[in-house]
Chains A and B, each alone.
Chain A
Amino acid sequence: MRHRRLYVIGAWLLLVAVASVVATRARYTADLSAFLPTAPTAAQRFLVQQLRDGLASRLILIDVEGADVSVRATLSRGLAARLRTQPAFRSVLNGEAGGSGNDRSFLFEHRYLLSEQVTAGRFAVPGLTAAISEGIDLLASPIGMLAKQLFTHDPTGESLQVLAQLEQSTTAPESLDGVWVSRDHHRTLLIAGTMASGSDADAQARAIDAIRAAFKAAQRDAGGTAAAAVLRLTGPGVFAAEARATITHEVVRLTVVSSLLIATLLLLVYRSIPLLLFGMLPVVSGALAGIAAVALRFGVVHGVTLGFGVTLIGEAVDYSIYLFIQARHGTGRNAEHVHWTRTLWPTIRLGMLTSICGFASLLPSGFPGLAQLGLYSITGLLAAGLVTRFVIPELMRSDLAPVTVMPIGRIFSRVLIPLRGMRRWLWLVAVLAVLVLYVQRERLWNHELAALSPVSAAAQQLDGDLRAELGAPDVRSMVVLAGDDEQAVLRAAESLAATLDTLVARGVIAGYQTPSRYLPSVATQLARQASLPARDELLQRLAAAVATLPVRLDRLQPFLDDVARARTAAPLLPKDLSVTSLAAGLDALLVRQSGHWYALLPLQASRAGAATIDVDRVAQAVRGTGTPGVEAVVLDLKRESDALYAGYLNEALRLSLIGFAAIILLLAVSLRSLTQLARVIAPLVLAVLAVLLGFALAGRALNILHLIGLLLVIAVGSNYALFFARQLPDDDAGQSVRMLSSLAVANLSTVIAFGVLAFSTVPVLSALGTTVAPGALLALLFAAVLSRGAMPAPGVR
C-alpha cells in the first residue's frame, strides 16, 4: 500500500513536470486564422494563404487627425521619412512622389519595351505621322514647355503612355500639400506595407510600436500644434496584434476572476484551505496536460484554447466536489475510499466518458481551432478525472475533517419540491422551442466568418472608412492565374486583359490591376522590339512622316539613338524593377508560393453599381480565355471565406450530432435500460432546446462556438443527470442530501466560470459563456425535476 502510494504520486508529479516543461516551451498564437479552416481545394488554400500572408494582410492604414492640414502634412512627411529607413517596412506611401526620380528614369529608359502602343503599325510612316502630330499638340498644351524636353527623345510620346498605363493601376486619394488626405480633408492618410505577414502578430506588434514611436518623433520635430494631432492605425496586422493583446488580457483576467470566485465558493463550502487546494489539483493538472497535448500535436497553442482553460475549471472542479461532499464519513481512510471507488467513481467516470465522447467529435474538424479545443478538453478532463480518482485519495490524509454542507442540499431540495410539481408542463418547453426554432430556422445560424472576429464594431468602421478613402487596397474580388512558371502566368495575364477590357467597357467592372502593366512578359517585350525598325529604315520613315509636319528632322537624332538602343536591349525581368518603387506593385500582384506562380488581377467594382461585382459574369467571361498550363479562378474573398466557414459550420454540426449519438450509445451500453437512458437524456435535450429557444427569442444568431457550448452543456449536464438517475436506496436520505449538495456546488461553480466568460469582449469566449452558464443551470434543474427518486424532506439529515 505504501509502495502504491509512492508510485502513484511519483508518476503524477513526473507527468505534471513534463507537461509544465512542454507548456512553458510551447508557442502561443492568437491569430484568428486558426479558426480559418484548412482549405480543401488549391484555390481555397491560396485564398486562406492570401488572407493570412497576402499583400492585403501586410497593409497598415494610418490616419492622422487633429491639428491643421499643413501641420498634418509635415507630420505625414516626417513619419514616412522615418519609416522608410526601417527594414521592417517594405513600402510607405503617403502621396509624396518618393523615389519617383528613379521610377521616371526607369520608365523613360525602357519605354519601348513597356508601352502597349509599340506595334509595327505605329512605326510605319502613317503611324509615325499620327503619333508625332499628337506630340506637337502636346507641345502646344499647357505642359508643352516641359514636354519639349522629352520631344527630341520621344516624339511619339511612349513615356507618357507608360505613365498613363501605371496610372490605371492606382487609384490614389486626393492630395493636399502633396500628401494624401480624406475627401473631407479632416484626415491625413498613409499606407505602410510591412515585410512580415499580417498573421505574424509579434512582427505586427513591433511594426505598430515603430509607427507610434516615429509619429511621436515627427510630432516633436514639428513642434507647435503638432502635439494635438492624433494617430490611428488599422488593418489586418493591427487587428491581429490587438486581438492577441485582447485575448491574452481577457484570458488572464477571466481566469483570475473565475478562479477567485470559485475558490471563495469552495472555501465557504469546505471551510478548509487544504481541501480547497486538493480540489484545485485536478483542474491545474488537467489544464497543464491539455496545453501540453495541444502543443505536442499542433505545434502552436491558440489563445482561445487557453481561454477554454477557464471552462475546464467549470467541469474538472466538479469531480473533486463530488468526491469531497458525497464521500461518506467513514471510520477511517479505507472505508471512505471503498465507498468512493465502488459507488461514486463509476458515475463520475461515466459522466467523464460522456464528455470525452462529445469532445472527441471535434477532433476530426477541419478547423484547427476546434480540433485544438477538442484535444485540450479530452486530455484535460481525462487528466482531471484520473487525478481525482487515483492521486487525491492517496494524497489526502485520513484525519481531514469531513465536509458537511447539508444546508445547501436542504435549500436545493426545498426549491425543487414545488418545481417537481410542474414536471408535467415541461414538454411545453420542448414543443415551444421546436416551434420557434423551426420558424426561425433560416436565421438561426450566422454564416459569416466575421461573427468570430474579436475586432470591435468601431474598429471595423474605422477600417472600412479608411479603405474607402484610400481606394484600391481592399482586394475583395480578383482573378487568380496559377501556373508553373512566371512567364506563363504573365502571358496569361496579358491575354486576359483583353477580356477584362470588354468587361470594363460593358460596365461590369470599373477597372482592374494586372502585373503585366508593371512588367510585360518576355514574349511581349520581344514582339515590341521586333516591331521597331532598324536605324536607317527608321530615318527614312521618319523623314517621310514629318515631311508634312513643322518638325525639324535634324533635331530628332536622340530619338533615332534611343530606338536603336531599345532594339538590342535585354528584356526586362522582375529583378530589374527592384531599383524602383514599382517592385512593390509587382510583388503584390505576381506571387510565388510553394513552387507555383500566381498572378493576381484585383477587380474594381463598377462605380455606377453597388460595391459588389457580379463575380459570376466575370467568371463566365474568364472561362472563355484559357491559356494552356495556367488555371484561372475568379475569387470573391468574402463570399469564398463565408462559404468555407458555412461549410465548416455544417461539418461541426454533423460532428456534434455524431458526438451526441456516441454519447447516447455509451449511456445505453452502460445503463442497460431504455428508461434509465431516457431519464438521463431528456433533461439534457430539454436544456439544449431551452438555451436555443432563448437565443432565438433574443434574436441572437448562433456561431460555431455556441455549438461547442451546447456540447459542453451535454457534457456537464450528463454528470447531473447520471447522479439523479442513479438508484439510491430509499432509506439513505443522508446520502441523497449529500448528492444534492454536491450537485448544487458543482453547478454553482460551473455557472460562475461560464458566467464570467459571458462578459468577455472576445465574441468566441462570450458565445461559450452565454451558452453554457444558463445551459448548465437548466440541465441541473431539469434533471432534478424529472428524477424519479424520492426527494429528501427538508428536515432530514
Chain B
Amino acid sequence: MKNYLISPLKNQYKANMHSHSTCSDGKLTPEELKKAYKERGYSVFAFSDHITVREHNDLADESFLPLTSAELDVAQQGEECFNLRKAFHFNIISRDPEHFEQVKCLIKNFSLEYINEVIADAKSKNYFVTANHPNWSLFTEEDFLSLDGLDGFELYNCITANFGGALSFTPELYLYLLRNGKRIFSIGADDNHSFCLPFSHPQNDSFGGFTYILSDKLDYKSIINALDNGDMYCSMGPQFFEAYTQENELYIKTSEVKQIGVIGENGKASALNAVCGNTVNSFTADISDMGKFFVLHIVDTNGKHAMTRAFYKGEDF
C-alpha cells in the first residue's frame, strides 16, 4: 500500500509566508504586493506587518488568498551595535481570517521565558506560529531548543540572504531541533520589504524563498488545515512532485535537480546524484534504517534547495 507524503493529487499552492507592506515598514502597498506576487504564480500570501495583526480579506479572489497575520519581535538590549545583539522575530498567522485577537509583545522584554509566554498567548488565541530567519536571530541551538510551541521554522528567508547578506539556509539547525524532539514544519519565505530596490535589483528581497502548500482547495480553512497537518515544504526553487512509501522503499519524483536526498533521524542518509552537468528527477530509496523520521531534500544545478518537514515512522509511513 502506498503512503503518500506528497500527493500528486493535491494542488501545490505557492505561498509567501512572510512579507511587509506599507502597513508597516514595507515600500509597496498590499494591492501592489498582491499584483506582483500573483503575476509570478503565487496563490497564498501572508501580510505579516509588524506588531499588529491585520486582515486583507478584501484582496482575496478565486486564485489569491491573503493570510491574516503579523510579525512580532523582541530584541536584546545593550550598547553594542544591533548587528551583534540577539533578536527573535516570529510570525503569527490567524486560523480565522476575520475574528482574531491581538497578541501583545514588548520588543524590549528580551528573554527566552518572555518569548515562550508570548508564543503561548498566541497559540491560545488560535494562531499558527513560525520562527523567522533563525540564523539572523543569532540564537544558538540551545536557545531554540528552549522555545516551546513553534509550528513552523523558516529554513530559508530571502531578505536576510539578499539584502542582509547572511547565509540564510539553515538545515543543520532544523535537523538538530527535529532530532531533539521538536515537531516543527519547514517554511520558506521572502520577508520582503522592497525598500528602495526594484524587483530587478539583485538584492531585491522578493520571489526568492517560498512555501509550497499542498491542498485540494484554495480557501482559508483548507490552507490552514494544510499548515496544521504539515502539508507543505520550503523551497528556493526546485519542487517535489510526488513522494510515497511502500514497505521499506521511498519513491520521490521532483523537478530537474542535481541531487535528491533523504536524511534520517539516526544520521543515515541516502542520495541520488546527477552526473556533472546533468540532472535527475526521480529516486527510489531504502528507508528501512532511517530511525524515527526522515526529511527529503533536493538541490538544483543553481544550488537552490527545497526541504520537507520530518515524516515520522508509524504516523506518516
Chain A bound to chain B: no
